[in-house]
Amino acid sequence: MLFQRSPPVRKAMILQTGRPQDIAGRETREVRTYNKLDELDIFYQRLDHASADTMEICREIEKSLSAVICKNLLLCNRQGTAFYLLMMPGDKPFRTKELSAQINSARLSFASPEKMEEYLDLHPGAVSVMGLMNDTENHVQLLIDEDVLTGEWLGCHPCVNTSSLRLRTADVLNIFLPAVHHGYRTVHLDGGDPA
């Protein structure tokens, strides 16, 4: 007799307001994010989910958050002397040549996981604007695609990719960034074919 395995039951993602009541088992970098947002009195909602490493999970998160879900890329110039955190809409392709020309930088590439850890205390897959609170020496410049700035809300990870945050865009720009001593530069990415 053959037994057919049932598909795994996926736990519903529920949007919660504020930090988790129980932080046991949560990474220090995640808890530090909630501490900073609470210290700054920034309103946020949180969604716990499976590791966001597939497009299927990302689409589910996007529906549940009702916010511009940002693709966050840590980039560096060819010499490895300048680092940039690029925030852009998740559905827009990234074109290195287009961005390099706008910021007058040598050809850009993805920064190494070691630099991600060193400067932002983040692992690949969890890159987020929230990581700038760990960049106390301002090694990383923030670049924001203009389309991210048009939404009232934005979505990002709290420095881990098993939770996502829904934050007011204005709070990130006007409260969080000044508090962590970072500015930003607006860029325009046209969303053409990736290069």
- What is the tens place of the pLDDT at every residue in 98-125? 888 889 887 899 999 999 999 999 998 8
Query: What confidence score (pLDDT) does residue 192 get?
Result: 55
Give the per-residue pLDDT at 121: 94
Question: CA–CA separation, 99 vs 152, rounded Å?
Answer: 24
> Rounded to an integer, what distance in angstroms lies between the CA atom of residue 51 and that of residue 113?
18
β partners of residue 68: 154
Q: Tell me what the pLDDT averaged over the chain comes to.
A: 86
The domains of the chain are located at 16-187
Give me the residues of the chain with pLDDT under 70, please.
1-12, 54-56, 191-195
Domain 16-187 in this protein, CATH class = alpha beta
Query: What is the structure's pLDDT at 191?
Result: 65
Q: What pLDDT shows up at residue 2? A: 47
pLDDT of residue 44: 96
